[in-house]
């Protein structure tokens, strides 16, 4: 039976499968650990990119990330962008200016990291063309990939790291900016935006 026949998305199919593995085939989890590395990296990078997109709208542009045509942002009038600002009513102009200056430096350091996202996602779906934000498509691709690699690992008791080139590049890039990722996550502006649910992240993003 195909997994899609067991329930709709986010209904707990993967969680149930993992529980069965923990109980009846715990050793296979350790063997397949490397296959999950690029997925974890992609989740981290997507979280960083989502935060930066909202910060771009709030501090650096008049374009909302959810308003796009063919993947390209569409501009809003300055008056519309100003009225759409979430933080302005809650902070002073001087505080906003300080936050903008701080975040501009962090943003510049993290942009190269987000540039890896497309290549990593493409590798996880076998090189298929993907659109930014189509996380469901990417997820379906890597779930199929991991299932195949899991079966091989169980069959011959071996494992290999998928797309080591892209994964290793992402690991190096992330290790170089880990302090900046932490600074971004702990910044009060980001905390406020997340609290106001303007930034929608995976539940494990923190």
Q: At what angle do helices 188-195 and 178-186 cross, to 10 degrees?
A: 60
Q: What is the pLDDT of residue 175?
A: 94
- For 91-121, the pLDDT digits (tens) are 888 999 999 999 999 999 999 999 898 888 8
Q: Is the pLDDT of residue 52 over 60?
A: yes
Beta bridge partners of 73: 68
**Is residue 200, in this structure, part of any structural domain at all?**
no
Number of domains in the chain: 1
**Is residue 202, in this structure, part of any structural domain at all?**
no
**Is residue 155, in this structure, part of any structural domain at all?**
yes
**Is residue 119, in this structure, part of any structural domain at all?**
yes
Q: What is the pLDDT of residue 179?
A: 96
As a whole number of angstroms, the distance between CA 204 and CA 138 comes to 17
**Is residue 206, in this structure, part of any structural domain at all?**
no
Q: What is the pLDDT of residue 146?
A: 58
Count other C-beta atoms under 10 Å from residue 13's C-beta. 16
Count other C-beta atoms under 10 Å from residue 187's C-beta. 17
Q: Under a CB-based contact definition with an 8 Å cutoff, are residues 165 and 58 in contact?
A: no
**Is residue 113, in this structure, part of any structural domain at all?**
yes
Q: Residue 158 has which token pair?
A: 């071996």
As a whole number of angstroms, the distance between CA 41 and CA 19 comes to 23
126 confidence band (pLDDT: 50, 70, 90): low
Q: Residue with structure tokens 């990417």?
A: 138
136 confidence band (pLDDT: 50, 70, 90): very low
Domain residues for the domain of 121 are: 30-60+93-195
Q: What is the pLDDT of residue 66?
A: 46
- For 63-91, the pLDDT digits (tens) are 444 443 334 343 334 334 444 678 888 88
User: What predicted TM-score, i.e. pTM, was given to this entire model?
Assistant: 0.69
**Is residue 9, in this structure, part of any structural domain at all?**
no
What average pLDDT score do residues 151-160 get? 55
Q: Is the pLDDT of residue 190 over 80?
A: yes
């Amino acid at each position: 039976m195909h997994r899609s026949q067991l329930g709709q998305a986010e209904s707990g199919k993967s969680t149930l499968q993992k529980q069965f593995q923990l109980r009846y085939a715990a050793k296979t989890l350790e063997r397949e650990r490397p296959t999950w590395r690029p997925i974890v990296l992609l989740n981290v990078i997507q979280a960083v990119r989502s935060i930066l997109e909202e910060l771009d709208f709030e501090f650096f542009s008049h374009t909302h990330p959810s308003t796009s045509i063919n993947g390209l942002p569409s501009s809003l009038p300055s008056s519309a962008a100003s009225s759409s600002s979430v933080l302005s009513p809650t902070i002073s102009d001087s505080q906003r200016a300080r936050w903008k200056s701080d975040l501009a430096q962090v943003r510049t350091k993290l942009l190269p990291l987000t540039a890896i996202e497309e290549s990593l996602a493409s590798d996880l779906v076998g090189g298929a063309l993907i659109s930014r934000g189509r996380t469901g498509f990417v997820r379906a691709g890597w779930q199929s990939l991991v299932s195949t690699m899991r079966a091989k690992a169980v069959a011959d008791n071996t494992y290999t790291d998928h797309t080591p080139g892209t994964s290793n590049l992402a690991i190096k890039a992330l290790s170089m900016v880990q302090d900046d990722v932490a600074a971004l996550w702990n910044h009060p502006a980001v905390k406020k935006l997340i609290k106001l649910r303007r930034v929608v992240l995976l539940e494990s993003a923190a």
